[in-house]
Structure 1
């Protein structure tokens, strides 16, 4: 087993499924953690670890895809899919950074609340709320961008793989109609 071929199949075809599942899952977890601080505290270190695994899967899928690109007929659809695939890494990095910020902030705020027992300054509370809203808006934007990018990449990959690979009529239909 290698990162190019797994059980006789191109590894890209298998690895890409991790990306297709983990990017939206990480995006959802980041948004939930940003909007709902108690959820961020409950997720704990699992939030940045999920984003880290997601990030690790992206270059694995891209590398396996580059190998596959060299082993299939090159056409405009394959090239377009490869170009789109190269754009996912920054989204995955952004998800990891935001997940780490949310985890760190949730951990720090939980420790501060335990130490003080209550909020002491209304100004600090308003400032914290503004920062939380700004981070939540940023998280929603990055999450939406990452999920849309995964969709665009997957759609282009499906078109590249299947554009001439199937019949619009079932084999049984051709026997009866042909």
Structure 2
């Protein structure tokens, strides 16, 4: 299942948006609303069930999208730059919430980002792709301690991992520039 940024139906409430996939699968209204409510609560949007997307902030819309994906119980969740358009504070809050959601749900999440800091904060493993699409150039187990929050970014280990990844990224960018010349 792919998570799309803000891919909410504007004519549906938060509850209806989260329950939409369940409705398509033929789940009875009462059960789908119970399931949807569970995930609305998990993402911290209780009391917004009757709100429409236009009344929500960008971060809240992102959380509705995450709740909708979780409600459909996929084995793997793909998040492709889900926080890229958000301000720094909202991004940090949602990163920490995503860590909590991951810990509660136990789902496998493939998170695509261009931010080394974000990758280290959220991942159990960082895979760096090369300048040629699909080529893995580095696969790093992330051994930063749990639970993770913004303070982990101040640790010496975080900086070691960040430097290691940054060196690889710089090398790949240089190779790409040389190939174009």
TM norm structure 1: 0.25
Decide which structure has the larger Cα Rg and report it: 1
Structure in which a larger fraction of residues adopt strand: 2
TM norm structure 2: 0.25
Structure in which a larger fraction of residues adopt helix: 1
